Amino acid sequence: MSAILPRELIETTQTYLHAHLALKEAALAKLKPYERGKLTRFQPNDRLLAFLEAL
């Protein structure tokens, strides 16, 4: 963690750690639940395919 957040005290790093967890929890709460057995294959659109071809 100290490589990502160069803080000298673990207490200050803990503040950032908890803040990030709260952001992750808020983002996950916006997702619809996973439906087991409903697998769909990713279908890229033409814009994405054109971008990848241009690389």
DSSP state string for 34-47: P-TT--------HH
45 Cα distance to chain centroid: 22
CB atoms within 10 A of CB 2: 9
The model's pLDDT over 23-51, given as tens digits with 9 standing for 90+, comes to 888 888 999 887 787 778 899 999 999 99
Q: How confident is the model at residue 36, as a pLDDT?
A: 80
pTM over 0.75: no
Give the C-alpha separation, 51 to 45, whole Å: 10
Q: Specify whether the CB–CB gap between 44 and 33 falls below 8 A.
A: no
38 Cα distance to chain centroid: 22
Q: How confident is the model at residue 47, as a pLDDT?
A: 97
Q: How confident is the model at residue 32, as a pLDDT?
A: 85
Which comes out higher in pLDDT, residue 12 or 6?
12
